[in-house]
Amino acid sequence: MGKRVTLKDIAQAANVTTATVSYVINDTPGQKIAPETRKRVLRVARDLHYIPSSAARALRRKRSGCVGVVAKKNLAVPRFSQTIQGIQSELERNGLMVLLCTNKMKDNGLSDYLLAYYEGRVDGVIFLGKDNVGPDDASVERIGSDGVPFVTFDCQQSSDAFSSVDFDYRGGARLLAERVIERCPRRVLYVKPQMATAQEEQRGAGLHDVLDAHPHIELIEVEVPITLGNLDTWDLRYSVGITDEGEELTSAFMETILHASEPLEAGDAVIASWSGWTEPIRQLYRYRGIITAELANNGESHFHPDFYTRMPNFDAGVACADELLSRLDGKPVSARLLRLTNIVSPPALHGGYPQPAEAGIAR
């Protein structure tokens, strides 16, 4: 790292006094600073990559005993709460606490979580960004240049600047599809969201790895109206319940998935990208002998599909904490890929649930 920028450096570049810079940077109450001057000082501070003077304390060897976790997610959703629980459990076992941070950009051009690190409030950061989007380029540059202990989770974004923990969605989808194909379906309906994310692309690729080798099986793909734009509305069901907007979205979802499943016959299969999405089919067509499978299940439903991938969310949180602890110990960055090998066959396949009378399929 080069020479750190001081208030005097900013004052000279902005053609103001050092006191004025201090008032602006610290947002000192009772000081009358012209709006144009305030903007100029903040702009110069950003351009010079100024770090608040309290950041100097972060360079000391003594640690805060706290790790920042950026979790701009609805923590009522089981997947995210399970991951946070894993992070907290492993950090507490190692004598560290968790501080929830945001990804909001401050006036000085620093994100909230980086500012927490520079001010010495956290020793490192675990990043669970919104919609699985990783840190911005400017933050990544600082993380690398300043050696910030940093771990991303499920962002599908590798970098020499930070460690990462991701799921092997393609491999998991491939394994689940192979289990479904063993049941010899004539058609497979694949239900997915309207999202062009790396996660969904990998899931789709895993299914095609298997189904493309079985051209006699008809693959039908349908997108339900769940997008990145309305995902927050969809997830509110886990916290505040079904809102008016959520009711409309649910109705559109149900209409799409039920219409797409109408051509299915006994022995055909439905593979859903997300947890719980085969439940409408299981409820309405339980005696039609349709095979149901889900690529991600977090334990939300008591009536599981015939096959599902149990997401190792808690273990993923533990892995994130473990990677961060390694960075705190001075070990190099690494990329960890968690295999999705836990393909579960509930009791429905072993005589535990009522069997479809007319399907003629061995259960």
Three-state secondary structure of 322-345 = HHHHHHHCCCCCCEEEECCCCEEC
Residue 126: per-residue pLDDT: 96
Helix axes 7-14, 35-47, angle to 10 degrees: 120
Three-class secondary structure assignment of 35-90:
HHHHHHHHHHHHHCCCCCHHHHHHHCCCCCCEEEEEECCCCCCHHHHHHHHHHHHH
Q: What is the pTM of this model?
A: 0.77
Give 10-residue mean pLDDT values along the chain (363 residues): 76 90 80 89 87 51 81 80 93 92 75 87 89 84 90 90 94 95 94 93 96 95 93 80 86 92 91 90 78 84 77 94 94 93 63 37 26
**DSSP letters for 93-119:** HTT-EEEEE--PBPTTS-BHHHHHHHT
Place of tokens 């600073």: 33
Residue type at 64 in one-letter notation: S
Among 5, 33, 4, which residue's Cα sits nearest to residue 19? Answer: 33
Identify the residue whose tokens are 């459990």: 89
Question: Residue 361: its pLDDT value, please?
Answer: 28
